[in-house]
Structure 1
Amino acid sequence: MPEPADTTSAGPRLLGPAEVRSLAAAVDVRPTKQRGQNFVIDPNTVRRIVRESGITADDVVVEVGPGLGSLTLALLAVARRVVAIEVDPVLAEALPGTIAEFAPDQAAHCEVLLADAMRVEEVPGPPPTALVANLPYNVSVPVLLHLLQLLPSLEHGLVMVQSEVADRLAARPGSKVYGVPSVKAAWYADVRRAGAIGRNVFWPAPNVDSGLVAWTRREPPATTATREQVFAVVDAAFAQRRKTLRSTLKNLAGSAAAAEAALAHAGVDPMARGEAIGVEEFARIAEGLHGGLPGSATT
């Protein structure tokens, strides 16, 4: 296991607009919408992200989409170790050189992994304890949920996503934006909004606003249903938002009667809608569907 970073060594130099454009030009990189590439060019923003994330010198951090290294350098100023997962081979190859130039005293504490974060099956080194990232906006929710499932050692983190997505992830039952991402994120963690980020801190400037989402790991609801069974109920409940749970769960349950029995087991009004209930209720509904009730999916 690597030794903790020497806090007496010189800290990393962070990237500003000139450095970001220079590094991009050096490797002939032009940000693409396909990969959701918008590089942070403001040192104060990456300092803020690190501060709001709550990471310490004990944390092993996973970063997704490091790009040219703006946030990576700020993370190395604090964390014990950073594993940066980058899907773009050009950027992944260039990042170690950037770290060696701008953070020579911390370079040994960073590993760059060339991979698609959605397909990663393991992270090298000691178990990571934090996830801090400017997630590619086009895949932010699936990447977050995949890593929370894959890496149970993750205790806390903070991600930057599109503002509307941040609202959905942190939404509570009854909110207009409460939906599938809200419930599935709540399965793993307590999630909250941690502020907004302006468009002018990026190059190129995105066409959407950005938001910070902080989370702290918690145990999933105590239930005999599996995560897959609970998530299937969540997906079905929100497939037709204006319909009642009795109606939306009918096909999944096999019949309206089985759906009603599962809802009764959960203590949920059959006329309620998915937007009105929390992850604990969804877990109890899944129990009802798969727990051997008369007419349930397992009988």
Structure 2
Amino acid sequence: MRSVLAAEDLPLVRPEARRRARLSQNFLTDGDAVRLILRCSGVRPGDLVVEPGAGEGALTRPLARRAGRVIAYEIDPALARRLSRRLAADPAVRVAGRDFLTAGPPAEPFAVVGNIPYARTSEIVRWCLAARTLTSATLLTQLEYARSRTGGYGRWTLRTVQSWPEFRWRLGPRVGREAFTPVPRTDSAVLRLERRRTPLLPPSALPAYRALVAEGFTGVGGSLRATLSRGSRGSRGSRGSRGSRGRPPGRVRAAFRAAELAPGTPVGHVTPAQWLALFEELHPAGAGERAPLPDGDPDRGRDG
């Protein structure tokens, strides 16, 4: 049986909140869903947590109890004022009445946990990936978004692949649409981004890896193998133009064999592990030796 949040954690959603659909606000009102997100977040006492889109505070107070330090961002002025009044006596919470995306990341390690607006998911994910001190992000997103970014449809996106050497992308539990007010049109899911303690490639190789992936996703050659064969080595100019110097076709074919890729594999079907194999064949000097992973890290060479 689903439990409803206690009154102290989440007051009844007021009628004006229902009119905030234009801000892509769907308020979490299911206590079981809140506890699920807390478990998935893995936050511990003493952790610093940044919460984007705190809303009515369904997650804010439980996060403060578990972690002890929360910065809660809320862009809606009325909601921010209300949340500030309710939590004024809680020294573990600081309410920031501003757009989370305009804030800089904390200087110390921190985690992001939030029920985020669907319409701003990509921007919030981009912010998290760029934050150097971020340790993890636990985001409640549209189910389709979470599945598509974690290979759930057998396809992989540019952002996921480019960040894979530094971040694990994990699909967490599903949360039904009935857990929100107003009720959205689709179910949600927990999306987990976890910074790897040791990147899968040396830091010096990451820019070249990201450039290779970006080149492959342009599709200028019609197929990934043709695109990589046309690409210029070391040139930032007219990639793929007649004047550019492409990679030797034999070398690209060998890289595809090493990655166990069929010649006509669509770029979106190439897994992160296969991209790493392609990079190590096409940029052996840049890839070097893969950094050793800490004990218990299962992700080297896995597709997700």
CA–CA separation in structure 1 for the residues paired with 2:123 and 2:251: 31
Shift of 1:160: 0.8
CA–CA separation in structure 2 for the residues paired with 1:263 and 1:36: 50
CA–CA separation in structure 2 for the residues paired with 1:250 and 1:84: 48
CA–CA separation in structure 2 for the residues paired with 1:90 and 1:250: 56
CA contact (8 A) 1:39 1:203 kept: yes
Q: How many residues in Structure 1 have an aligned counterpart in Structure 2?
A: 263
CA contact (8 A) 2:47 2:67 kept: yes
RMSD, aligned CA = 3.5
CA–CA separation in structure 2 for the residues paired with 1:287 and 1:115: 44
Whether 2:12 is the aligned partner of 1:20: answer yes
Structure-1 residue corresponding to 2:50: 62
CA contact (8 A) 2:165 2:201 kept: no
Whether 2:128 is the aligned partner of 1:136: answer no
Whether 2:179 is the aligned partner of 1:191: answer no
Runs of at least 4 residues off by over 4 Å:
239-242, 249-252, 256-259, 281-288
CA–CA separation in structure 1 for the residues paired with 2:76 and 2:250: 46
CA–CA separation in structure 2 for the residues paired with 1:201 and 1:93: 24
Q: Gaps (5+ residues) in structure 1? A: 1-10, 292-299
Shift of 1:131: 1.4
- What code does the residue aligned with 2:98 have? A
Residue number among 66, 83, 105 corresponding to 1:122 in the alignment: 105
Whether 2:190 is the aligned partner of 1:212: answer yes
Q: 1:194 to 1:226 in 2, by over 3 A?
A: closer
CA–CA separation in structure 1 for the residues paired with 2:75 and 2:249: 43
Q: Gaps (5+ residues) in structure 2? A: 1-5, 233-238, 288-304
Structure-1 residue corresponding to 2:35: 47
Shift of 1:225: 4.0
Q: 1:185 to 1:168 in 2, by over 3 A?
A: farther
Shift of 1:108: 0.9
Residue number among 78, 95, 99 corresponding to 1:112 in the alignment: 95
What is the DSSP-based 3-state SS (H/G/I as helix, E as strand, rest coil) of the residue aligned with 1:70?
Answer: coil
Whether 2:231 is the aligned partner of 1:255: answer no
- 1:215-226 alignment, distance < 5 Å: 215-218=193-196, 219-223=198-202, 224-226=204-206
Structure-2 residue corresponding to 1:8: none
Q: Please, what TM-score do these two structures have when normalized by structure 1?
A: 0.73
CA contact (8 A) 1:49 1:158 kept: yes
Whether 2:195 is the aligned partner of 1:200: answer no
- What code does the residue aligned with 1:276 have? V
Shift of 1:213: 1.7
Q: 1:216 to 1:243 in 2, by over 3 A?
A: same
